[in-house]
A and B are shown apart, each in its own frame.
Chain A
Amino acid sequence: MAEPEVNLTRKYDAVIIGSGAAGGMAAHVLTSHGLQVLLLEAGKKLPIEQELRSMEWPYDNAHRGFLPPDSHSLSFNEYTIRNPPYGPGFEKSKHLHSYIGSSDYLKNIVVDERDNPFTGTNYAWVRARCLGGKTNIWGRLALRLSDYDFKAKTRDGYGEDWPISYGEIAPYYDKVDLYLGITGVKENLPYLPDSIFQRPTKLNCAEVTLKQGIQKMGRVLTQYRAGVTSDGLKHNKYRSRCYGRGACERKGGCDIHAAFDSPTGLIYPAMDTGNLTLRTNSVAREITVDPQTGKASGVHFVDSQTMKDYKVHARVVIVAASTLESARLLLLSKSRLYPNGLANSSGHVGHNFCEHVMGPGVAGRAKNLVGKPPTLDDGRPGGFYLTRFRNLAEKHPKFIRGYGFEGGSGSAMFPRGTDTHGFGASFKEEVRKNQGAFIGMGAFGEVLSRYENYVELDPVVKDKWGIPSLRFHYKFGDNEHRMAEDMKETAQEMFEAAGFEIVHVSSRVLTEGWSIHELGTARMGNDPKTSVLNQFEQSHDVKNLFVVDGSAFVNASCQNPTWTIMALCWRSCDYLAEELQKGNL
């Protein structure tokens, strides 16, 4: 089906590529400055409420909430034993998805791996091509970074400092908090600054036990800081407050939009200003350049359905296609002026690729809760966050940087503990009696930014639209593996301190990419020789080109990136609007 035609003959003030957290935020900020903006999204505009169906019972779903039989999602084992591209060997499945797509509620949101191949090292690359991208299905943990992260090099000597400090970005975190809503509890931690929180969720009894158990170790457990509006947002008519309903643990999203997503949180309100034009099904293949001025002139894209090519012109080009796709697009935008790709005089585009390592964790039982009447633990946007404690005051002998744990406990729609040995009456009773006593958590740790971890264009393989694919050169290193060992040990020691019966301890490191927090492929910096963007996410080389997604990160920290992506983007777009007005772009 063809897109309703948008006017591509006029020159827009700005064209944004990508409609996720970054692209949505750019659209919001720039339209609020009165700029005329065109937003291009590679995927469809889905009838998202019909996709997510957050309160559907499994027995009312044709496949109990699982993927239909003609579809397959890759498992950890398949990622381990096969190499990308992940198409060959799965010929029986009509659709092939990344690991996260193992749910009926995500099947149209995440891409088909066959249409979007990549090569090189193993990578669990989760991509959502639809309006709003991954914000439709994100985990919602919304954390701030601090100067422990922005000035990490000053602290431990590794890598580069960010060209900004916490004080410069803090006002923009505040704006994001107030505009989008976040739940949580103030903790006054220097390494994990508080947000302006709405009403928090509550910890359940096993979580309280853990919080108290680790206090004597000087460690902090706090309510999940969720990018969810618990009190509602008077300025936004598209989003409801959280009613604690729905099985929020399920792989899916929030169909009342209490959890932030880019379309209802940012894009629809931006369209209401009358300043935003949206074109979906628009796959960018190149950022065009004016050979006279060396500036970006617009975007060359292909309609994903009709395969027709289009060009659109704008005074400013904003890349927000996701960390890896943005790097790919810059590398694709080669010209006589820019033979190594756009904004790449440093040679750093695609490099310094970093993220979070995950996998190690622990599962246990609060023995005093076994056999208690069932409790209501579900419907919360999240359980708890156990904050970083490594390399703050003391230096760990085996690794630098840190990690935190995400966790939860209590009853879920599908009971935990069905992997218990045996069967029959005793098995059934054990599952029932233990269901509310389960508690588990898994770590997310900083993967160091390293030049030698990078993506480049594959010389041969192309995607469905004939656009060269990415080739990965990316592996966790020694620091990550030593950190992962420590994650497992501290997880166990904290569950022991809380008096839990430990059911399972995992030291298994999941495939690269699993955290869906890829970052750093066009990093910011003050030195144009070693960085791609300045502190306003503006290309050092091309003044009217901005890259406002996770690719701008200088390091990954161990905190989930979405809130920082949006705060940085807001700051950059304020600067952009001002510079445009001054005629400096």
Chain B
Amino acid sequence: MNLQYTGEEKIPAGLDAVWAFVTDPEKVGHCFPEVVGVTVQDSTHFDAVVKVGVGPVRGNFKMKVELLPASSKRRIDMKMSGGGFGSTVDLTSGADLVDAGGGTTLLKWSGQAEARGPVAAVGGRVLDAQAQKLIAQAFGNVRKQLTL
């Protein structure tokens, strides 16, 4: 099951502050919704355990995350793969940071996910909406963290 998402988030912080935040595995990791734990491997790799509940399929997903920052372009790509209880998810997303003036930054994001196994089969009917919500929540969390 192939899912595609786009959106944008306006963040009340300057470009450099947002960039520093989104390239920090510790900080980004904790923005995942329902995150149970984050283990940072190095400056661009971390493992995250997230709680997943799609329809009747519920449990923890273990995800391996790789950050691919391109600082000259102020673009960060992220690759995530992992799963649990016989399901897997491969997700790639990218975000462009644009100076929106007045100390604010526009975070324009897009992503696509491939879900396999029971989470795709059983959760098929609700997965799309739920994934959309979770991704929006993740970037919303970035905004919240930077707003505080």
**Chain A bound to chain B:** no
A interface, CB within 8 angstroms of B: none
Interface residues of B, Cβ cutoff 8 Å to A: none
